[in-house]
Structure 1
Amino acid sequence: MIPTAFLPRLSVSLLAVLLTPIAAAQVASTPEAPDYDRGAYRSCLDRLGQHASSAGIETPVFDRHVRSVVPDTSVLKLLDNQPEFKTPIWDYLAGLVDEERVEDGKAMLERHADTLARVEKSYGVDPATVVAVWGVESDFGKVFGKRPLLESLTTLSCMGRRQEFFRGELIDTLRIIQAGDVPAERLVGSWAGAFGHTQFMPSTYRRIAVDFDGDGRRDLVDSVPDALASTANYLKRSGWRSGQPWGHEVRLPAGFDTAVSGRTSRRPLSYWVERGIKRVDGLPLEGSSTPTALLLPAGKDGPAFLVFKNFDAIYSYNAAMSYALAISLLSDRLRGSDGLGAGWPTPDPGLSRRERRELQELLLARGHDIGEVDGIIGSASRAAIVAEQRKLGLEPDGRAGRNVLAALRNARPPAGAGTPR
């Protein structure tokens, strides 16, 4: 999870590319890393060594793992990055709550059924929710991130904004290594320091992680039981209420005053029932005093949701409504839901990862050098989309949507085009 210390100043478009390791790769290629003052850096290492010693980190541990670190100054660009590409919520959710992730999630529910049953008994969080977090955070362990935590956190402890915050994360990383929980070489993750199956920050690990497989180590990298139980422990500590839903998709009556919407605008469930709000699935919505909020993530013409305390627990994992909705909607799909009842207010819906890969294959077939076909729409893919949109008479916005995919499917390949890779 990206540290919430950064989240209040982030737009949803930025969150859409930062909140998960999978989506993070959609940020445009990182600019060349800036140079740094080597003398100032060595002085910083000396101060870090003193701070680490006072925090209980043994000097040999610090010297072995930090003294030789060459700073990765490219993380400074990521710290201050303002992405150029806007991501509508229907694109964000289309890639995170797609059929592939649902299929894989159901397989994980079956494969780890015994562990998940024990997790639910211990922490009261249902298997679908835990697996949904796992799926969104690391695609069930397929994508952890590639940046060594020691490099990123040492750099951020000495350079850029919020050095004090990152010094704390570095010290907690050294505590993980010193305790023998996870070897240093296995601690790779996001630029900000999140790591493991469900992307804990080191400080979150220190407070929340549990040894659920009983081997004496809290290992969120190589132990699925530890990672799943730690995730459930996080949600429990964030106020999760066992046996209660996160919320429901609902339908608003005509003329409804949407000024009362918003996650923090809580009212008794009976308030919404009295004003004619009904569940989309037709099941009864019984009035009660339960604090409930109305969410309209795409405005009054898009899907609407009534959310309860458990949505807040999910939201706390990464403070963004789009992220919490991805977890919530994926968990519903894992329980057998058919998905949203209402459509998004757009004539050009987002693409699943399979469709994004198909789009990339079509771009390759038309001669664009976009690199690997991986379903990640980065800067090279967007530039190719812009070029094809211009040829096809579409708005050249670089967006990977249904319209450009359909147009490329129907377009005649240019003469001499090769076979897609």
Structure 2
Amino acid sequence: MRRLIAVLALLFAAPAAAQSLQAQYEAFLEDTIWPEARRSGIARATFDRAMGAKRLDTDIPGLVKPGSKEPPRQMRQAEFSAPANYFDERNVGHIAATGRELARRHAKLLAGIERSYGVPGRILLAIWGRESGFGRVKIPHDAFRVLGTKAFMSTRPELFRRELLNALVIVESGLAAPGDMRSSWAGALGQPQFLPSSYLDHAVDYDRDGHPDIWNSVPDTLASIAAYLKEAGWDAGRDWGFEVTVPDTVSCALEGPDRGRRISDWEKLGIRRVSGKPFPSGEAGKEGFLLMPAGRHGPAFVVTPNFYVLKEYNESDLYALFVGHAGDRIEWGDRRFSAPWGRTDSMLRSDIARMQRALEGMGYDVGGADGLPGFRTRRSIGEWQERNGMKPTCFPSNALVAAIR
């Protein structure tokens, strides 16, 4: 009898908890979001059309209890569990091949956009392909439901609260109807996957039909990506980077955009392009940066400031590298990375965050204990390994998580 009561209690507890959470969410929308929306000039009718019937979407990855900032334990990401998966050849090869076809089809359009914004067509195509399969991937979610949910129960509620308000501004301004506001599970809109603030700041009406349409217009989509990159600082006179070999005498802990050197100085350390060619003469005297996104477990690069402009679009090193690499293959054919991606351990974000906090306690600058091993975390690992008599790998592993306490 006791077991039956316990089972019944569990069956009824989950729906009750969900109802309670939904009630909290409705109060959050009314008591927190609506007053902010009203101050931003949003009409009540607009707010109700966008938010009136929205329910929490608890299927969104990475949600946490309202008010928590701890990375969710279950999240595993290619950025640290298996960087090789990010460059699956079926994906990269498909984007490169399709991109070459679309480069021919849209040659005149891409040339005009490059003249206006200075960003090469191959880079625009690579981003377009990565973000939405060149506009062919169905964008599945209601942006207001996603943004409302993430404003209520993500690890970055302030960000998504601002983006929810920006989405309301888009509708209030007549730039899109609520039903047109389709997004990814992260709240990114349309074919270029812009957050609402990026749409307001960078979307371009390139086809001159009266409004920037990043859901249906190819010219608006590509020009909007170009406008974003130009305003982020794209240098039309430089490439994004070069794959290189890094001798053992050069520490992987030299990585990072704050440790730049002239490319000719990297050459003096023994770093060479994998092609065997010298660096372009116009690059040799300019600043370059060491990039080792999987530490010693994968390819290495000397990148230019344009690489970090690509990171303004998406802060992942692997994302920016994917775009540069796919763009090169669109332009020059299937030149794959020379060095392989080695095997890396599968790890939870919470485990990485615990290791980061331990390194912070020792005085290392890991860039924040967010569970994501960016360049500051990777080089901190390398410096810790060097100080402890180990050969530096500059990449987390389960053994390092256990050792760094």
Q: Which amino acid aligns with 1:57?
A: I
C-alpha distance in structure 2 between counterparts of 1:37 and 1:61, whole Å: 24
**CA separation of 1:271 and 1:186: change in aligned 2, threshold 3 A:** same
Structure 1 residue 192 corresponds to structure 2 residue 176: no
Q: Which amino acid aligns with 1:58?
A: A
Structure 1 residue 69 corresponds to structure 2 residue 54: yes
Task: Decide which of 107, 128, 135 is 1:134's aligned counterpart.
Answer: 128
Task: Decide which of 277, 281, 290 is 1:283's aligned counterpart.
Answer: 277
C-alpha distance in structure 2 between counterparts of 1:38 and 1:288, whole Å: 58
Show the counterpart of 2:67: none
Q: Which moved more, 1:102-111 or 1:326-335?
A: 102-111
The CA deviation at 1:233 is 0.9
C-alpha distance in structure 1 between counterparts of 2:240 and 2:18, whole Å: 44
CA contact (8 A) 2:147 2:161 kept: yes
CA contact (8 A) 2:63 2:155 kept: no
Structure 1 residue 151 corresponds to structure 2 residue 145: yes
Q: Which moved more, 1:34-43 or 1:327-336?
A: 34-43
Q: Which moved more, 1:36-45 or 1:147-156?
A: 36-45
Structure 1 residue 320 corresponds to structure 2 residue 305: no
Give deviations 1:123-173, integer Å, cap 9, x for gaps: 100100011111111111122531111111222334454433222211211
Show the counterpart of 1:300: 296
Structure 1 residue 83 corresponds to structure 2 residue 75: yes
Task: Decide which of 28, 36, 44 is 1:51's aligned counterpart.
Answer: 36
CA contact (8 A) 2:243 2:274 kept: yes
C-alpha distance in structure 2 between counterparts of 1:294 and 1:85, whole Å: 23
CA contact (8 A) 2:263 2:288 kept: yes
**CA separation of 1:144 and 1:266: change in aligned 2, threshold 3 A:** farther
Alignment of 1:380-395 (within 5 A): none
C-alpha distance in structure 1 between counterparts of 2:22 and 2:91, whole Å: 45
CA contact (8 A) 1:131 1:331 kept: yes
C-alpha distance in structure 1 between counterparts of 2:159 and 2:253, whole Å: 37
Unaligned runs of at least 5 residues, structure 1: 1-30, 349-421
C-alpha distance in structure 1 between counterparts of 2:289 and 2:271, whole Å: 12
Alignment of 1:321-400 (within 5 A): 321-346=317-342
Give deviations 1:197-226, integer Å, cap 9, x for gaps: 110000111111111110110111111111
Q: Which amino acid aligns with 2:313?
A: Y
Show the counterpart of 1:205: 199
CA contact (8 A) 1:97 1:326 kept: no
Structure 1 residue 41 corresponds to structure 2 residue 25: yes
Provide runs of 4+ in structure 1 moved above 6 Å.
none
Q: Number of residues paired by the alignment? A: 318
C-alpha distance in structure 2 between counterparts of 1:62 and 1:264, whole Å: 44
Q: Which amino acid aligns with 1:50?
A: P
Unaligned runs of at least 5 residues, structure 2: 1-13, 65-70, 345-405
CA contact (8 A) 1:295 1:305 kept: yes
C-alpha distance in structure 2 between counterparts of 1:184 and 1:347, whole Å: 44
Q: Which amino acid aligns with 1:310?
A: N
Show the counterpart of 2:110: 116
Give deviations 1:280-308, integer Å, cap 9, x for gaps: 22322247431111112233363221100
CA contact (8 A) 1:144 1:197 kept: no
C-alpha distance in structure 1 between counterparts of 2:298 and 2:157, whole Å: 41
Give deviations 1:362-403, integer Å, cap 9, x for gaps: xxxxxxxxxxxxxxxxxxxxxxxxxxxxxxxxxxxxxxxxxx
The CA deviation at 1:341 is 4.7
Q: Which moved more, 1:141-150 or 1:81-90?
A: 81-90
Report the 3-state secondary structure (helix = DSSP H, G, I; strand = E; otherwise coil) of the residue aligned with 2:276.
coil
**CA separation of 1:260 and 1:120: change in aligned 2, threshold 3 A:** same
**CA separation of 1:83 and 1:43: change in aligned 2, threshold 3 A:** closer
Report the 3-state secondary structure (helix = DSSP H, G, I; strand = E; otherwise coil) of the residue aligned with 1:300.
helix
C-alpha distance in structure 1 between counterparts of 2:168 and 2:111, whole Å: 33
The CA deviation at 1:117 is 1.2
Report the 3-state secondary structure (helix = DSSP H, G, I; strand = E; otherwise coil) of the residue aligned with 2:295.
coil
The CA deviation at 1:108 is 1.5
Task: Decide which of 306, 311, 318 is 2:307's aligned counterpart.
Answer: 311
CA contact (8 A) 1:144 1:188 kept: no
Task: Decide which of 36, 45, 52 is 1:60's aligned counterpart.
Answer: 45
Report the 3-state secondary structure (helix = DSSP H, G, I; strand = E; otherwise coil) of the residue aligned with 1:227.
helix
Q: Which amino acid aligns with 1:83?
A: M
Show the counterpart of 2:100: 106
C-alpha distance in structure 2 between counterparts of 1:77 and 1:178, whole Å: 30
**CA separation of 1:300 and 1:186: change in aligned 2, threshold 3 A:** same
Structure 1 residue 234 corresponds to structure 2 residue 228: yes
**CA separation of 1:195 and 1:343: change in aligned 2, threshold 3 A:** same
C-alpha distance in structure 2 between counterparts of 1:136 and 1:220, whole Å: 15
C-alpha distance in structure 2 between counterparts of 1:53 and 1:341, whole Å: 52
Q: Which amino acid aligns with 2:54?
A: V
The CA deviation at 1:122 is 0.9
